[in-house]
Structure 1
């Protein structure tokens, strides 16, 4: 019996020499064959690009975001605005005729900023624009005057205030200059230092028990392997100032746009293309962690997880985390974007909400764009629709859609 098995195995080998067996037995096993398969998507990639950048869908993600941002405004975890945003998107995704639109419940932190007020008393009287960092605590109701003021540049007009926990020793607050330098007990930094500065500070921040919230989900169900998932995402919550248009309205809306473009072209990939709009990202990926705990039992069916959360400015390419074999495949997919000259692939995908999956070996991708101005507006009153550019969002949507669709439709999942 052993000899019969050996003879069978020897006869079996030549048929698959230099190849790996696949789920359906039909997958091209050499990289040259994979390149040919990817090249076969050139007409579909061109159709996606034409629709997103030049066609009827031109500016659609921007226009959708503008209505959303102007209607809802900022969407801090636990806020009524975030509740309204989730209801808005649930309805909008249904109206877009996407499939399996549903909400998955999670618990998220609930912190409110409250009143914030600061006045410089010395060396002169001057009102200071302040913005407390998240999870700051309140001052006493009457506020307080700094007892041992640090040396800072009093030319600074915008100061962030970080209130420490009540059991901290030595101080209960610190002043962090935005765009300037502060002396906090070390060497002097450049600036007109040495002047005693006395500040009156009043903050009314409050932390409440965790609130109920939802991750928002929609799909285009796969035609052949519906249980296998290509996930595209952005987070729906935002900071509590500005409009959250950049962080992360843009990422959320180009992810929605990816499904809309695929649907509009009448395409249905082999695998399910799933949109997830995360909640509670700004508090450390709270909603995404609970999503991971709920779905990790099916981790072998997650082909790639993608998140856009660094703005939707001029796209430069794609950042990727995965094996060398998977990277080579994604690099080849990026060549389909040559018509818009966005073909680069970078090391290490970045995304708070997809880190859980990547740490467990699931390939991950994030949009790489020009973030040179990102931190001009990040978590500030400046994060509004004036930051967004419709042409840049069109290009971002094209990149996001081509990559996600091709991966979802290829004969085999990305190797791990």
Structure 2
């Protein structure tokens, strides 16, 4: 252990000074110093989450978020404008309820549930049926119409706790939420219960969007808290005829007008080359949308603010985009890319923050080998700030539609362990965000933008 530590110390003494004394390292140090001592991201997040709150697309909260972010960026951007986009308008309606009706062991049991986003409602009569538990679409197929018709399908595949990357665990379970209702409807199910997408045992459910398939009946779907999913599963072991009731009042209204909000600082040498940073302004309706994705929005705006506070004049045009409707449609990201193509804009990079406002770990990316190698060459500049992970592929959903235009896309990568404690739940509130972690993330994104602006990616 002593020899290992000495080797690290010797390496630091030899390798660090050249990096530490470089103009890029000095600029990045100034970026972090500025944000950690003068940053406004936390105050901005407090206003967005506690004064405006939930911002589901089509809602009054979303409209208020648009106006707030426009006014906010007018304080430091060279220009700010609204980009019109039509968005889905789904409303939850009255409070949901659900219960087990006839347990021989426990009688009637109230269950913690919420409607899945974009689900149809049950109406006041609710849905009652025998529960059939499955863990995969293959298992559902094997049961077939004979055993599924007229019943409520309970998808109970948990996120894999062995996955260190919780987003990988989420990816391994989320299809049952997104596609499960239509898969169950193929075999005549009358409703669907989905285990919430959370790693821990919790009392509150996680919402999230589903996608109904064409030409298949739309059946109502709810998420159940992980703790009550465990209870329901245990009851079903010995009580195969268990009856379940749930009632929801959600509905989808006609598409509503909304906007992406765009602010930019014009480039001084290459104004037609654009670097985008962004987050999605919309959130689910259960809470304040703090980690998903208030943090990403204020971090993206803060990149422009940091540059103004430092007196930095970028070579290229830097844009902050508050995308609308990531949660249940991606209309904002699609429209932004469509307009970029129509205007023949040259985007050289896009960075999205949509994984929460936790401690920075690095960046994911979808990039050609040349840009990828250049970005990875900057790892020593980020290492003093704890960012060492540059190996994962992927980026943000909102900037994904830019990729066919040849744009290098990056995702800000914070620590993932706590994100799914709050994701799509009533617990996603301002008090769950650390001021210091939020500011470190904003500075990390600004540092990446600075390096791309200074050196390009080719």
TM range (shorter): 0.7 to 0.9
CA contact (8 A) 1:278 1:353 kept: yes
CA contact (8 A) 2:236 2:242 kept: no
Change beyond 3 A, Cα 1:80–1:164: farther
Quote the Cα distance in structure 2 between the aligned partners of 1:192 and 1:301. Answer: 57
The structure with more radius of gyration: 1
- TM-score, scaled to structure 1: 0.81
Q: How many residues align?
A: 364
What is the 5 A alignment of 1:251-266? Answer: 251-266=296-311
Change beyond 3 A, Cα 1:372–1:255: same
The alignment partner of 1:41 has SS state of helix
Deviates most, 334-343 or 101-110: 334-343
- TM-score, scaled to structure 2: 0.74
The alignment partner of 2:333 has SS state of helix
Quote the Cα distance in structure 2 between the aligned partners of 1:341 and 1:49. Answer: 12
Structure 1 unpaired stretches of 5+: 1-34
Structure 2 residue aligned with 1:56: 38
The alignment partner of 1:337 has SS state of helix
Show CA shifts across 1:47-70 (max 9, x none). Answer: 1011112x222xx21221012100
Per the TM alignment, residue 138 of structure 1 is displaced from its structure 2 partner at its CA by: 1.3
What is the 5 A alignment of 1:9-408? Answer: 39-53=22-36, 55-57=37-39, 60-94=40-74, 96-115=75-94, 116-123=96-103, 124-146=107-129, 148-150=130-132, 170-178=188-196, 179=226, 193-195=237-239, 196-297=241-342, 301-408=346-453
Change beyond 3 A, Cα 1:337–1:182: closer
Show CA shifts across 1:335-360 (max 9, x none). Answer: 22233232431231321111111244
Change beyond 3 A, Cα 1:212–1:118: same
CA contact (8 A) 1:118 1:199 kept: yes
Quote the Cα distance in structure 2 between the aligned partners of 1:331 and 1:105. Answer: 36
Per the TM alignment, residue 205 of structure 1 is displaced from its structure 2 partner at its CA by: 0.8
Show CA shifts across 1:329-380 (max 9, x none). Answer: 1123332223323243123132111111124421111111111121121111
Structure 2 unpaired stretches of 5+: 1-17, 135-153, 157-176, 197-225
CA contact (8 A) 1:236 1:278 kept: yes
Quote the Cα distance in structure 1 between the aligned partners of 2:133 and 2:421. Answer: 25
Quote the Cα distance in structure 2 between the aligned partners of 1:385 and 1:403. Answer: 26
Structure 2 residue aligned with 1:18: none
Show CA shifts across 1:91-148 (max 9, x none). Answer: 1111x231111100001001111121222211112222211111111114322322x3
Per the TM alignment, residue 165 of structure 1 is displaced from its structure 2 partner at its CA by: 10
